[in-house]
């Protein structure tokens, strides 16, 4: 793993894919823990097209040691830096027959513990007692997202499609994309691999067409402290 090369690619293009971060056995162990959980809690969202667990690492603490193996810890330290901590985690399961797709967008909000009036923080949204807010740009620019793939993912089962370098253009409305100058890149990731991306990277995904499921663990990291009245809702070291 040439981590310096991945670090440069993320800075330049906004994303990079690293294979074989988890062994098949490690993925099976993580899957087994997820399969044995009580899915009736309100942080779980279940429909025919999507099963999602918000606050994943808080809800299922027993997966934490399995996820943060030596490979992942090294990647976080070498690519992000020493002071990064978890600020958000979600588990997504797109079932085999899912029609779920996601239009192009940037991830513009962070999860926080309460709603307070602060300069340059807003707009606010609330989902299932979860407060989310759009913070100042410098906070967003500093976040890294790791997507851990529990299944092989390609363009036929909802692999992310991204617009390379779009993370460096600030707030970029998807409807203003100029396809004469921008390119679309499909990010295939093998089971046990990860995709690292910057949240300002414009990304989306298509419907599943090959009858294969796609399960992803999405974890966001920051090294920034918020204004003292506000806390990251899922902060974890």
Would you call 35 exposed, middle or buried from its count of C-beta atoms within 10 A (0-12, 13-18, 19+)?
Answer: exposed
The pLDDT value recorded for residue 43 is 72
The residues near 235 (Cβ < 8 Å, ≥ 6 apart) are 85, 86, 87
Q: What is the CATH number of domain 3-107+135-222?
A: 2.60.120.620
- Taking residues 71-94, report their average pLDDT: 96
Query: With 90 as the cut, is the pLDDT of residue 96 above it?
Result: no
- Taking residues 130-135, report their average pLDDT: 95
Distance CA 101, CA 234 (A): 26
Q: Which helix (H) or strand (E) holds 32?
A: helix 24-35
- Taking residues 143-172, report their average pLDDT: 96
Q: Please give the DSSP secondary-structure letter assigned to residue 165.
A: T
The pLDDT value recorded for residue 1 is 67
Question: What proportion of the chain, given as a percentage, has pLDDT over 70?
Answer: 100
Mean pLDDT lowest among 45-59, 61-75, 82-96, 144-158: 45-59
pLDDT tens for 27-50 read: 999 999 998 887 777 778 777 777
Query: With 90 as the cut, is the pLDDT of residue 147 above it?
Result: yes
Distance CA 201, CA 198 (A): 6
**Residue that wins the pLDDT comparison between 95 and 63:** 63
- Taking residues 106-113, report their average pLDDT: 96
pLDDT tens for 211-230 read: 898 999 999 999 999 998 99
Mean of the per-residue pLDDT values of the chain: 93
Distance CA 16, CA 165 (A): 12
The pLDDT value recorded for residue 149 is 98
- Taking residues 155-176, report their average pLDDT: 95
Q: Please give the DSSP secondary-structure letter assigned to residue 55.
A: T
Distance CA 50, CA 96 (A): 10
132 touches 126 (CB < 8 A): yes
Query: With 90 as the cut, is the pLDDT of residue 130 above it?
Result: no
- Give the model's confidence band at 152: pLDDT under 50 very low, under 70 low, under 90 confident, else very high: very high
- Give the model's confidence band at 51: pLDDT under 50 very low, under 70 low, under 90 confident, else very high: confident
Domain boundaries, the chain: 3-107+135-222
Asked whether the whole model's pTM tops 0.85, one would answer yes
């Amino acid at each position: 793993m040439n981590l310096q090369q991945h670090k440069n690619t993320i800075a330049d293009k906004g994303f990079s894919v690293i294979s074989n971060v988890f062994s098949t056995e490690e993925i099976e162990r993580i899957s087994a823990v997820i399969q044995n959980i009580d899915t009736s809690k309100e942080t779980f969202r279940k429909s025919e097209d999507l099963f999602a667990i918000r606050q994943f690492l808080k809800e299922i603490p027993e997966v934490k040691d399995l996820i943060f193996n030596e490979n992942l810890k090294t990647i976080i330290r070498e690519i992000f830096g020493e002071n990064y901590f978890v600020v958000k985690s979600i588990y997504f399961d797109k079932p085999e027959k899912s029609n779920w797709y996601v239009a192009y967008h940037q991830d513009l909000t962070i999860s926080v513990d309460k709603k307070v009036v602060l300069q340059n923080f807003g707009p606010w949204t609330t989902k299932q007692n979860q407060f989310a807010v759009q913070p100042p740009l410098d906070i967003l620019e500093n976040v890294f997202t790791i997507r851990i793939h529990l299944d092989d993912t390609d363009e036929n089962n909802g692999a992310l499609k991204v617009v390379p370098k779009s993370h460096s253009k600030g707030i970029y409305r998807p409807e203003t994309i100029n396809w004469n100058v921008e390119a679309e890149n499909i990010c295939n990731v093998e089971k046990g691999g990860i995709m690292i991306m910057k949240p300002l990277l414009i990304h989306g995904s298509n419907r599943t067409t090959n009858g294969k499921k796609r399960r992803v663990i999405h974890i966001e990291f920051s090294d920034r402290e918020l204004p003292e009245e506000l806390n990251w809702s899922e902060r974890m070291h």
